[in-house]
Structure 1
């Protein structure tokens, strides 16, 4: 293969490497597709869509705190395509991604000519949600650019969009097919229900994702958070991803910090549940400048009933303040809009001084200043979790719905129901999930079909196999009795399959007969030693005729039934081969030693010959 075909384009330039989204990012493309719309009016229509999208976001998600990036759109041109494009880094908050899906779906209901494509670093995540109801031809290898949101519904581009070939579509091909064949797209209510399942809890989920908590922080920081609540996101991220360099200003007594632990006030701060969990779960020792504050708080409230709550609020406030302190070190240089807004607000507050800060009376007028939400959603009772998995909603004296929130229960029930459906799927093959049309070629398919046919034809007869092995090894055959008796292989054959099996048996029998004859020729299967070899064995063991008779007499006296003819048969060749093999090991580990050891025999090293050679 000519590597130049892969590296250089026909124009002589380099082809671009496949672009891949960064981790935890979602990308969305908005197209206005209307054959009646003139090209010069396309830009104005896209601008109308952009303004409507921003207004929708401001109205629906006005109080929402984005983890990293917010919902955003800009006009972009690419390969003769003009569309709105946006990318959002949602970090650890998957709710940000689904909120964007909700916004875009609602937006398409207002614009009949709007078509939206959305995906993340995992690919077509909407199709992943609906994986169990997708058509078999739609595999992850060819699903690129095939899922589109239009008029609030999910549409799929069929194989006809790629001329019937099972390959991924380019963006230009997908848009072109929608323009020319909008009525041939696939719309399934089952696929749509699965793909948009998480959207059922919106828009109520936006308010449910917010958590308010009382914390004790400096007055300056309380004012900044009141003016710009969304700055809590970059501050907690700075705290959550802290490093020794960012912590250094907090541990250095000579460094001037922006938020010293002075003039502390207790106010309610708004978090998302993701941000609050990140902050709450972190173990962080108070910086030196906070030690005196904690000691005074423990002494001043010792013995009071609310001491644990006050210390918990102080600890959370210390973490929040430390996060903002870390953020302030280089906030103006960060590639984050909220961080830059915080830097400008902090600069204005420091220039205005103390007179710009709110008084206690001013703080009392703030909305929800004393609100403190329940934190029970953080607790996981693993016994209750096990009950939910097993469907025992009423066990352990627990009321139904007490485990987690409603969304967590719904998601868990859906997972369990899908798993049970998978296990109870009688149409599934031996491998479980079907993998049709994925990474298969004709050769692989034909091989698998042949293998399946072979599996159907092959049947294992344990008794017949045992009999054949005994014959091959020269052991006496054991005749089965009753119903277990093996049918005579010379019985008339009535079917072609049994004829094939009979031929195979004859071939195996002939082969075993030849092997048996060859082994007998070399004496490997002789169970009765010849007189000369028996004498040699007796002489080697130091047992003469008298000793043998004495041993026979003792054996008869002990058993009363055995005779001299019932002596243990010894295969001289086999014993000789074992001894020679053991000797060749030279005292090291080897097959003969291992076999003898498994039989409970430990032979000494054969050192006589070596010693004689040394004496010579």
Structure 2
């Protein structure tokens, strides 16, 4: 029986340990705690430890059954018996690296485990806090905020349950400690709230499991040295730390590879072609890297062409990853890496006589398997066809939509979350607030219109954008220069900021500069594409013949039609409701969001940061010139 470990608070000792753990949890890590809550065994410590050990074995058995062929990105599912603040329970922490799938796989394992053990209560969180509630942010009650949600979210018997706000908490909001939460579960489990709406949103990503476990794997044919093929045969999961070593390589690692004095573990000779199993994340990391072949590989790669060269390049990257990993074996704590090192040492002792022959390699399972790589491609034409199809219907004989149902659902979720963000009536002129403590002490307001659909008034949009940008009114026909003061914009800023007298005058110049920078930023990312004038004299009037309101000398309806024309769409791609000049906000939101993300060129930026805060990650675009790639 495993001895319980003493809990180690990671943060300020004066704070509750669970809060400190949440704040000090390393990035890309998930922590999970399993409690056995049974009134009949609370006073029998020995029996409780025995049952925890049985639960631990059951959890590992379930994990092995579900993930026997799975490759973890970095850390694996693990559990230890710990004692903290008078509570003895199972606890584990996993570093999932760049693979968000690993995090949700752990949540799936924990939920399945709770179904077979009704007396198990699971708490799970990551460096962002209660990420299950983040997923369900649109349907949470107002009182359940990041400042009050600690230790309130639990998984029991496959369901999501929330410790409610007690009557005495409404006047004096305080954080719920872990012992208090466990005591409530033990004494009055029926008081915990279960909402189908919150559970559906929180567990939305689990709908694709367990099938997603195998769908997230990718097999590819690569050409590698026979010695490495032998190592991968003995330990196929060692590909994860090897890819990480290649992906995070530095100048010292490359110096070792390029040095002629270094004896390589896997020299580029006696090459064989076989299928190697990756996760999609690992394969994408390897595929996306631009890497100049080191000396020993340069001639081999250059002499090949076509498909053979592509397989050689992938094999070269894997081999270099293993070389870097083994050169730094003393610094790694990866179990798979150490097991691969043991195989290499045995190979050095036994010699090449133990290496597999070609016939043996071809007899291996999935030895020639090569999966389709189309999941890595983002076709923006298909993306726009998808958005056009939802407005104008599917064209005859065309595919009903781009991507698989999961991709389409994710796209709709991105748009819906941005709509919810825009519909947040509680947001003010200061924008999104992310202070550590921003508890609202004011009385609750009516939430009826939080879920209302976005409406669009062309005239109001025109007026507000002109005021914000410091442009002349629509009737003037002349646009003010960005650096010239505009009376309307000044009045708007004064009314919003509450300035008066000399203080207002001193802020005018700064406001104009900020407005110009704001306009330039939006134009750079295409967010103001609706206001760009065409080279057509007929759209320079402030109103079109149909009486539609105009923005900057161009009607919104005309702009939408022009955008469709530029993207090779016909008039039949739109619903009849477009005739009234109304713009499809979903289309423009998603289009501008992707263009903004693409404009970041892989660097941090506003679009990527906002999506990251929402728990969403877009794949990296690869249509850049070769000169921009990473070279070893």
- TM-score when normalising by structure 1: 0.65
Alignment of 1:205-604 (within 5 A): 205-297=212-304, 307-389=305-387, 391=390, 394=394, 398-401=398-401, 403-420=402-419, 428=425, 439-440=438-439
2:201 to 194, 204, 208: 194
- Rounded to whole Å, the distance in 1 between the matches of 2:108 and 2:440 is 39
Tell me if structure 1 keeps the 8 A contact 2:153–2:161.
yes
Deviations 1:22-79 (A, max 9, x none): 0000000000010012332111111111111111111111111000001111111111
Q: Which residue of 2 aligns with 1:23?
A: 27
- Rounded to whole Å, the distance in 2 between the matches of 1:236 and 1:143 is 37
Q: Which residue of 2 aligns with 1:528?
A: none
Tell me if structure 2 keeps the 8 A contact 1:331–1:342.
no
Tell me if structure 1 keeps the 8 A contact 2:147–2:439.
no
Alignment of 1:132-147 (within 5 A): 132-147=138-153
- Rounded to whole Å, the distance in 1 between the matches of 2:110 and 2:440 is 39
- Rounded to whole Å, the distance in 2 between the matches of 1:176 and 1:184 is 12
Q: Which residue of 1 aligns with 2:180?
A: 173
Q: 1:398 to 1:252 in 2, by over 3 A?
A: farther
**Greater relative CO (CA pairs within 8 A, separation 6+):** 2
Deviations 1:177-222 (A, max 9, x none): 2112211001101100000010000000001000000000000111
Q: Secondary structure at the match of 2:356?
A: coil
Deviations 1:352-384 (A, max 9, x none): 110111011110110000001111111111222
Tell me if structure 2 keeps the 8 A contact 1:65–1:233.
yes
Tell me if structure 1 keeps the 8 A contact 2:29–2:126.
yes
Q: Which residue of 1 aligns with 2:51?
A: 45
Q: 1:172: how far off?
A: 1.5
Q: Secondary structure at the match of 2:286?
A: helix
Q: Which residue of 1 aligns with 2:597?
A: none
- Rounded to whole Å, the distance in 2 between the matches of 1:310 and 1:340 is 31
Q: Which residue of 1 aligns with 2:495?
A: none
Q: 1:337: how far off?
A: 1.5
Q: Secondary structure at the match of 1:269?
A: strand
- Rounded to whole Å, the distance in 2 between the matches of 1:364 and 1:204 is 28
1:126 to 121, 128, 132: 132
Tell me if structure 1 keeps the 8 A contact 2:138–2:420.
no
The worse-fitting range, judged by mean Cα deviation, of 331-340 and 241-250 is 331-340
Q: 1:421: how far off?
A: 6.2
In the comparison of the two structures, how many residue pairs are matched? Answer: 424
Q: Which residue of 2 aligns with 1:160?
A: 166
Deviations 1:114-137 (A, max 9, x none): 000000000000000000111111
Tell me if structure 2 keeps the 8 A contact 1:333–1:340.
no
- Rounded to whole Å, the distance in 2 between the matches of 1:332 and 1:370 is 34
User: In angstroms, what is the RMSD of aligned CA positions?
Assistant: 2.9
Q: 1:39 to 1:429 in 2, by over 3 A?
A: closer
Structure 1: unaligned runs, 5 residues or longer: 1-5, 298-306, 447-616
Q: 1:333: how far off?
A: 3.2
The worse-fitting range, judged by mean Cα deviation, of 35-44 and 105-114 is 35-44
Q: 1:441 to 1:132 in 2, by over 3 A?
A: closer
Tell me if structure 2 keeps the 8 A contact 1:249–1:257.
no
The worse-fitting range, judged by mean Cα deviation, of 346-355 and 369-378 is 346-355
Tell me if structure 1 keeps the 8 A contact 2:115–2:157.
yes
Larger radius of gyration: 1
Deviations 1:479-527 (A, max 9, x none): xxxxxxxxxxxxxxxxxxxxxxxxxxxxxxxxxxxxxxxxxxxxxxxxx
Q: Secondary structure at the match of 2:319?
A: helix
Q: Secondary structure at the match of 2:24?
A: coil
Whether 1:35 and 2:39 are equivalent positions in the alignment is yes
- Rounded to whole Å, the distance in 1 between the matches of 2:13 and 2:82 is 26
1:182 to 189, 206, 215: 189
Q: 1:395 to 1:231 in 2, by over 3 A?
A: farther
The worse-fitting range, judged by mean Cα deviation, of 328-337 and 182-191 is 328-337
Structure 2: unaligned runs, 5 residues or longer: 1-10, 445-632
- Rounded to whole Å, the distance in 2 between the matches of 1:254 and 1:99 is 44
Q: 1:419: how far off?
A: 4.3
Q: 1:413: how far off?
A: 2.2
